[in-house]
Amino acid sequence: MYFEGLLDAIFGQRFNPVYHLGALCWFFYWIVSITGIYLFLVFDTGVNVVYDSIEWLTHDQWWLGGIARSLHRYASDAMVFAMLIHMLREFALDRYHGVRWFAWFTGVPIIWLLLTSGITGYWLVWDELAQYMAIASFEWLDWLSIFSEPIANNFLREGSLGDRFFTLLIFIHIFVPLALLFVMWIHLLRMARAEINPPKAIAWGAFGLLMVLSLVFPAVSHPPADLSKVPVVLNLDWWYLFVYPALDWMGAGAMWATAIIFSVVLSIMPFIIPHRAPTPAVVNLDNCNGCGRCFEDCPFGAVTMQPRTDGHPSYEFEAIVKESFCTACGTCSGACPSSSPYRRGEELITGIDLPDVPLTAVRARLNAEAKRLTGDVKIVVFGCEFGGALKELESDVVGTVQMSCIAQVPPAFIEYALSRAGFDGLVLSACRPGDCYHRLGVHWTEERLTGYRDPYLRPKIPRDAIRVSWARPTEMGKIRRELGEFVQDVTNSKKKLTHDSRVELESVAGE
């Protein structure tokens, strides 16, 4: 987290590459695909001529083929790098549990498919490294004794490797990345509006980086394969080929056992490591008009719309929550037009709500905090479960209200806080943009505040009475500083709302 804070300072919150690692993997995949198509077009597939065709590409046509080859290689390496950090990060931030098991579980085959894609690519150069790897790979497969003859026999001596078998290797190198693409698609199936394109600035930066690397250290081959010899010294691409020294060291059987145990343990981690399972959102049909805003905003596709079951004469649809998809972020509740704190009644019942953090409790807390504060100004901080520690911010001028996710705050609550509840200012504090624990909470909140997303905060609500402070739990100093500045602003510039202006706001709210 501290390292990410450093990157925030370098890139700015919105262009921090670690918040876009999944999208960067997709971006690298496309670079590899496009360069791969070019390489395939000019690549000679005969086993005796393939090496020369790659040497020609690398040296004679360095300005296109050579760069394409280097980009193909470095983008593949970058994909492993990005995937590794992505996986460790999702684990460290506890984003693999509960209903989010699916993305983690489907990520495990991605590891193997990505490694296999890279490894099979190295075979095709048919140099000493390819020879070593191909033989070691097939010996590893032969250990299973499922083939009538060892496949490694195809590499026994000069002449034993035919063009037909080599064509099969090329087919594998095309098929496995396609399978990888398919699983990457499955990986995102439970993500609504999954980000598969990084911000342009990050994409161009990453591409430039790979380009510089390709020009300074172009990818080159080992000497051509010679089956009468055994390669002695190999310059491995350690991003992919670390498995081979491990295979030589532990042997095929132990390597199979390691791979299987690693995959199984990784796959079942979401199920065996205990965690708190929040109660999914619940639809209250009497208050649901079937508008579909919750369906639009749900970051995990947990809300679907179906034809009305209560025979309501005016409304055509109703929202349904798929419990196995719901992370209980409350974004749906924040989007619901029924989530208005101005509604009469002791209990605020909205169309869709979280049983663990119901909006009626939020309103009650808001009013209680307004009563508690005794300072010259009254500020309320709406925060999420995964941002800074709100309790630490409380004082006689600052009250706090914790939500499941910041997107659970309906814009009507902001109006309510600044008008009826009597606060002079309001701070929204949650995860970093692009790094929301519930994926889209910060994004949706910003769009609601700036009028780009329905339900939006009405333009008449004074924006200088609102402050956002996106920060992670380790950045309490930043939150305190920004909150302090805001309290000072509200006090010094006399933006504290007078009774009259509050009455004016009341009238705005009543419109």
Partner 1 sequence: MRSEITPDKYFPKGIEEKVTLAVLIRRIIGLSVFAILTMFILGFFSAAGHFLTSETSPNPLAYHYLAENQAMIKVSISHSGKRITECKKRTKAELKKLPPNMRAAMSCERERTPVLLVMTVNDEEVYRHVSRPKGLSKDGASIFYQKLVVPTGVHEVSIQMRDSVRDEGYDFEYKEKIELVSGRNFVVTFDEQNQNFKVY
Chain residues in the site for partner 1 (CB under 8 A): 6-7, 9-14, 73-74, 77-78, 81, 132, 139, 142, 145, 148-150, 152-153, 156-157, 205, 209, 212-213, 216-217, 219-220, 227-239, 244-245, 248, 446, 449-452, 454, 456, 459, 463-464, 466-470, 482, 486
Which tokens in the block code for residue 439?
């994926």
Nearest distance from C-beta of residue 475 to partner 1, angstroms: 13
Cβ-based nearer residue to partner 1, 205 or 422: 205
Distance (Å, rounded) from C-alpha 121 to C-alpha 177?
10
Q: Judged by CB, which is closer to partner 1: 206, or 366?
A: 206
In whole angstroms, the minimum distance from the beta carbon of 247 to partner 1 comes to: 11
Sequence-distant (6+) residues with CB within 8 A of 434 are 13, 14, 16, 19, 20, 442, 443
Q: Based on CB atoms, which residue is closest to partner 1, 96 or 132? A: 132
In the beta sheet, which residues pair with residue 469? 429
How far apart CA 45 and CA 51 sit, in angstroms, is: 9
For residue 337, give the amino acid letter.
P
Output the smallest distance, CB 460 to partner 1, in A: 10
The string of DSSP letters for 452-468 reads SSSSPPPTTS-GGGEEE
Residue 61 CB, shortest distance to partner 1, in Å, is: 19
Q: Least distance (Å) from partner 1 to the CB of residue 497?
A: 15
CA distance 114 to 183: 10
Q: Could you give the CA distance from residue 268 to residue 257 in angstroms, rounded to a whole number?
A: 16
Of the pair 103, 414, the CB lying nearest partner 1 is at: 414
Q: What is the largest CA-CA distance in the chain?
A: 94
Q: Tell me how far apart the alpha carbons of residues 319 and 282 are, in angstroms, rounded to a whole number.
A: 10
Nearer to partner 1, 152 or 370 (CB): 152
Residue 252 Cβ, how far from partner 1 at the closest point, in Å?
11
Which residue number, 300 or 470, has a Cβ lying nearer to partner 1? 470
CB of 396 to partner 1, least distance (A): 23
Radius of gyration for the alpha carbons in the chain, expressed in angstroms and rounded: 29
Nearer Cβ to partner 1 (145/374): 145
Which residues does 84 contact at the CB level (< 8 Å), separation at least 6? none
Determine contact, residues 293/336, Cβ cutoff 8 Å: yes
Instruction: Give min distance, CB of 56 to partner 1, in A.
Output: 18
Name the DSSP class of 497: P
Pick between residue 152 and residue 186 the one whose CB is nearest to partner 1.
152
- Report the b/e string of 238-272 with b at 16+ CB within 10 A: ebbbebbeebeeeebeebbeebeeeeeebbebbee
